[in-house]
Amino acid sequence: MIVPFLLFLLSCAGVVFAFLVPGMTDLVMIFGPSLLACLILLWRAARAATYRSKRFSMPTPQQANRQNPQWVVIDGSNVMHWKDGTAQIEPVRAVVSKLKAAGFAPGVVFDANAGYKLGGEYKHDYAFGRLLELPEDRVMVVNKGNPADPTILAAARDLKARIVSNDRYRDWTESHPEVETPGHVIRGGYRDGNLWLDLAAP
């Protein structure tokens, strides 16, 4: 964000110079568009920083207990590969719909690169929320360089929720032994083009 800010200051100085110095008003045609471009870059950088710093804001355990929903945390980056082994948003959308129909309250966590795998560009919580028809606070894209697994496991533990994924979470069994409890991790996939989920209670 430093470079756009410096260019912004330079463009402001150029515009002021063009108006204050006689005969230099033509410079506004150069510095004016530059100033506008810098404002756009600064706005986009600030917006991206806001999304990067946003914490996963599914309800606290106390709120969850008061509302008494049956929370399920979806491993979005795993589920999006369930159909044909390619990254697609449709399997995640189908899982969300199936869970809602079964009376569950779903939340989804994605790796930072999920948007690139799906559409060649970064997608933040709000963008995925719109794709999945979920409130923004039910979706989280973890920060770049951080794996999604710890966030998924921590959210599931805090909310006493189950997890939808075909990941075995073998690297996390010591700190999260609950993943080895039958039914805690809901398996799923596609058979003959139809989604299936093993929703049997643990």
Helix, coil or strand: residue 106: strand
Helix, coil or strand: residue 2: helix
Q: State which amino acid sits at residue 101.
A: A
| Domain definitions of the chain by residue range | 2-53, 61-197
Distance CA 5, CA 13 (A): 12
Higher pLDDT, 99 or 9: 99
Residue 66 has pLDDT above 60, yes or no: no
Higher pLDDT, 40 or 56: 40
Of 86, 75, 84, 138, which is closest to residue 111 (Cα–Cα)? 75
Q: What is the mean pLDDT of residues 2-27?
A: 67
Sequence-distant (≥ 6) Cβ neighbours of residue 134 within 8 angstroms: 96, 106, 107, 108, 128
User: Is 124:130 a contact under the CB 8 Å cutoff?
Assistant: no
Q: How confident is the model at residue 113 (pLDDT cuts 50, 70, 90)?
A: very high
Distance CA 157, CA 32 (A): 53
Distance CA 71, CA 150 (A): 17
CATH code of 61-197, in short, is: 3.40.50.11980
Of 130, 68, 122, which is closest to residue 96 (Cα–Cα)? 130
pLDDT of residue 50: 46
Distance CA 116, CA 1 (A): 22
Distance CA 166, CA 82 (A): 9
pLDDT of residue 98: 96
User: Is 27:17 a contact under the CB 8 Å cutoff?
Assistant: yes
Residue 141 has pLDDT above 60, yes or no: yes
Radius of gyration of the chain (CA): 23
- The full DSSP string for 14-53 is HHHHHHHSTT-GGGHHHHHHHHHHHHHHHHHHHHHHHHHH
